[in-house]
Amino acid sequence: MRHRLGQAGRAVLGAGLIVLAILPLLPAVSNATLFTLTLMLTSVGVAVNWNLTGGFTGYVDFGHAVWFGIGAYTTAILMSLQSNGPQIGWAPIPAIGLGALVAGVLAAAIGRITMRLKGPYFSIAMLGTFVAMREIVRVSGGLTGGGVGLTLPPYLNRPLFYYIQLVLVAALVTFTWWLRRTRFGSALVAIREDEIGAEMRGINTTRFKVTVFSLAGLSTGLFGGLWAYQNTFVDPDIAFVEVRTIDAVMGTMLGGLGTVAGPVVGTVALYWLREVLWANLLEYHLIVQGGLLIVIVLFIPRGLVGLVDRRGTSVATLWERWLRRRPAPEEKRDKP
C-alpha cells in the first residue's frame, strides 16, 4: 500500500532508536532512568498492540489490559510453582513465552464471541471481560494466590530488561509497519471501512479480525509476563489495571489512530506531558489530562502524526473522516 512513514519520519525513528540503544552505556544514565524508560516502552508496546485492533481494524477495545494481566499471571504462576515447599518454578524465558501464548489463545477464544459485537457494544463487552477476568483470577485462589497474589524470585537487571523491551518494541513496530503493507493489513482496514462489503468480497472477516485480535493479545501478554518478572510480584489489582488500557487509548489517540507511528509518538508524548504535569500541577494533573483527552478528540482527531503529515491521502486522515461519519445503526436502518 502507499502509506509509509515518510523518509523524515523514518530518519527520526532510526536516530531515536540509536540514541535509545546507546543510552545505558552513558555514565549519566542511572538504572532508575532505565526503569522509567522500560515502563514507557511497555506502554508503547501495549499501545501498538491496541492500535492493531482499535486503529487498523476499527474494533475499539476497552479491556485490552486483560491480556497484560493474563500474561503476567501465567508467568507468575509458572515461575512460582511449588511442590510441598521447594520451588520448582519454571525458568523465566519459557514462562514468559507460555504466558504470551496463553494470552493469545484466550484472546482467540474470547474474540470469537466478543468480536461478533460491534461499535460500543464490543468496547463494553471487552471492558466486562476485563473486570470479569480480574474477579475470576481473584476467586481462583488455589492457582493464582487469590487476592494476595504471587511473588516471583527477584531478579533485577535493569539494562537487560531495558534492552529486551527495546528490541521487542522495535521488532513490534517493524512488524506492524510490514503488516500494514501486506494484503492482510489492507484487509483489516477494509474491515474497518466496511465490514459487510469486505465479507461479501471474499474476506473471511471473522478469521482476520480474530487473528489480529489474538496476535495483539499474545504480544500484550508478552509485555505482561516481562512486567511481572520485573515487578517481582502480582496481585489482581496491579496486574489488571484499567490505566493500562486508558494509556493505550490515549497514547494512540494523541499520536494518531490507525497509523504505524501514532501509538509510539503519542505514548512517548504522553509520558513526557505527564512528567511536566506532575512536576508543575500535582493534584490538578489528572484534571488537565482529562481535559486534554477532550481537546484531542474534538480538535486534533488526527493526532500528532496527522498534524505533521498534512497530505490528504495518508492513512492519518482516515480517522478524522471516520469520525465524521454517522453512527452505523442509522446508516443501515433505511432498509428493508
Partner 1 sequence: MTALLEARGVVKRFGGLTAVDQVDLSVGTGEMVGLIGPNGSGKTTLFDCLSRVLDIDAGSIGFNGADITRYRPHHVARLGMSRTFQLIRVYPELTVSENLELSIQWERMGMRGLFSRTDAATLRKVDSLLEFLQLARLRDERAGTLSGGQRRLLEIGMALMSEPKLVLLDEATSGVNPTLVADIADRLLEVNRNDGVAFLLVEHNVQFVADLCERVVVLNHGAKLAEGTPQQIMRDPAVIEAYFGAKAEGAT
Partner 2 sequence: MRRLANLAAAGVALLALSACAGVGEESTPTPEAQTSSEGGFAGTVRIGAALSETGKFAVEGRDSRQGYDTWVKWVNEEYGGIQIDGRRYAAEIIYYDDESDADTAANLVQKLIDEDGVDFLLGPYSSGLTTGASAISEANNVIMVEGNGTSDTMFERGFRNLFLVATIASDYTKSGIEMLAGQGVRTAVIAYEDTSFPTSVANGAIRHLEDNGIAVLAVETYPKDIQDVSAIMTKFRDLDPDIFVGGGHYNDAVLFVNSAKELGFAPQGMLITVGPSNPKLIEELGEDVNGVLGPTQWESVMAYEGPYFGTASDYAGYYQSLWGEPPVYQAASATASALALHLAIEAAGSTDTDEVRQALYSLEADTFYGPLAFDDRGVNTAKPMGTVQVQDGRVRVVAPAAAAETAFTLSTSAASGGTATGFGVHQVAQALINGIALGGMYTILVLGFSIIWGVMGVINFAHGEFVMIGAYLAWLANDLWGVEPFLSAPVVFLLMLGLGYATQMTLVNRVIDRSHLVSLLVMFGVAIVLQNAMKLIFSADFRRTDTSLGGAWELTDHVTVPVTRFWILLVALAVTVGLSLFLMRTRLGKSIRAAAQNREAARILGVNVSGVYAITFAICIGLTGLAGALISPVLAISPFQGPPLTLKAFAITAMAGLGSVRGALGGAMVLGIVEAGLAVFIPQIGTNLAVVASFVILVAALVLRPQGIFGGLRPVDATAS
- What type of residue is 112? R
The distance of closest approach from Cβ of residue 3 to partner 2 in the complex, given in angstroms and rounded to an integer, is 21
Binding at 113: pick from partner 1, partner 2, none (beta carbon under 5-8 Å per type)? partner 2
**Is 204 an interacting residue with respect to partner 2 (CB under 8 A)?**
no
- For partner 2, the binding residues in 257-296 under the rule CB under 8 A are 269, 272-273, 275-276, 278-279, 282-284, 286-287, 289-296
The distance of closest approach from Cβ of residue 279 to partner 2 in the complex, given in angstroms and rounded to an integer, is 5
Contact with partner 2 (CB under 8 A) among 10, 11, 93, 135: 135
**Is 194 an interacting residue with respect to partner 1 (CB under 8 A)?**
yes
Contact with partner 1 (CB under 8 A) among 193, 243, 275, 290: 193
167 CB-near residues (< 8 Å, 6+ apart): none
Q: What Å distances lie between residue 181 and 1, 45, 107, 151, 174, CA to CA?
A: 5, 20, 24, 42, 11
Write down the H helix ranges in 140-204. Answer: 141-144, 158-181, 183-193, 195-200
Give me the residue label for grid cell 494523541. Answer: 254
**Is 313 an interacting residue with respect to partner 1 (CB under 8 A)?**
yes
Query: b/e string for 29-40 if b means 16 or more Cβ within 10 A?
Result: eeeeebeebbeb
**Is 202 an interacting residue with respect to partner 1 (CB under 8 A)?**
yes
**Is 171 an interacting residue with respect to partner 1 (CB under 8 A)?**
no
Among 204, 199, 163, smallest CA distance to 24 is for 163
Radius of gyration (C-alpha) of the chain in whole angstroms: 20
Residues engaged in binding partner 1 (CB under 8 A):
1-2, 179, 181-184, 186-187, 189-190, 193-194, 196-206, 312-313, 315, 317-318, 321-322, 331, 334-336
